[in-house]
Amino acid sequence: MISGMIRAATVDDIAEIRAMIRELAEYERAAEQARATEEQLREALFGEHPAAYALIAEDDATGQVVGYALWFPRFSTWTGTRGMHLEDLYVRPPARGGGHGKALLASLAAVCRQNGYERFEWWVLAWNEPTIDFYKSLGVELLDEWTVCRLSGEPLRELAARAPAIGGR
């Protein structure tokens, strides 16, 4: 059993989650891209139709929030089943090495098993060797043959402007 207090996030955690998102973005050298507001996170996590879910890691001794994991369901046409996409996994630097990351991942794996999810997937930056080594130590398979594609900003708007009408809606 992995130690550490892991619990479902509550609406009272929104400010702390937003702060950790910004910390993660700074670590990933992309602070300017972390624009989510507390209101957006509140709606995404606790609105009528949640877009995502979060777990919180707390320090056993102090009860302080030391990390979080934010995920959402996905669907595989190949397996015909749902899976989990981990959007963020973050443990604050002073708490790293204390088992919180493993506890969060183990808890998410348990959520997968409870829900019949066959896949648990996420991305990691290629330069983030300490994190890659951590994932490898858990038996994670790195899928090097896939490339992430992203369409956003002006290219997204331009392509959308060329779309034909969608029938049946």
pLDDT band, very low/low/confident/very high, at 17 (cuts 50, 70, 90): very high
Alpha-carbon torsion (110, 112, 118, 123), positive or negative:
negative
90, 68 Cβ separation under 8 angstroms: yes
Which residues share a beta bridge with 73? 84
Mean pLDDT across the chain: 94
CA 17, CA 13: separation in Å to the nearest integer? 6
Average confidence (pLDDT) over 157-167? 92
Q: What would the CATH number be for the domain defined by 5-161?
A: 3.40.630.30
Q: Where are the domains of the chain?
A: 5-161
pLDDT band, very low/low/confident/very high, at 92 (cuts 50, 70, 90): very high
CA 65, CA 134: separation in Å to the nearest integer? 21
Q: What is the pLDDT of residue 80?
A: 95
What would the pLDDT profile of 97-156 be if each residue is shown by its tens digit? 999 999 999 999 999 999 999 999 999 999 999 999 999 999 999 998 988 898 889 999
Burial status of residue 163 (CB atoms within 10 A of its CB: 0-12, 13-18, 19 or more): exposed
Active site residues: 135
Burial status of residue 46 (CB atoms within 10 A of its CB: 0-12, 13-18, 19 or more): middle
Q: What is the pLDDT of residue 61?
A: 87
pTM: 0.90
Angle (CA) 100-101-104 rounded to 5° is 85
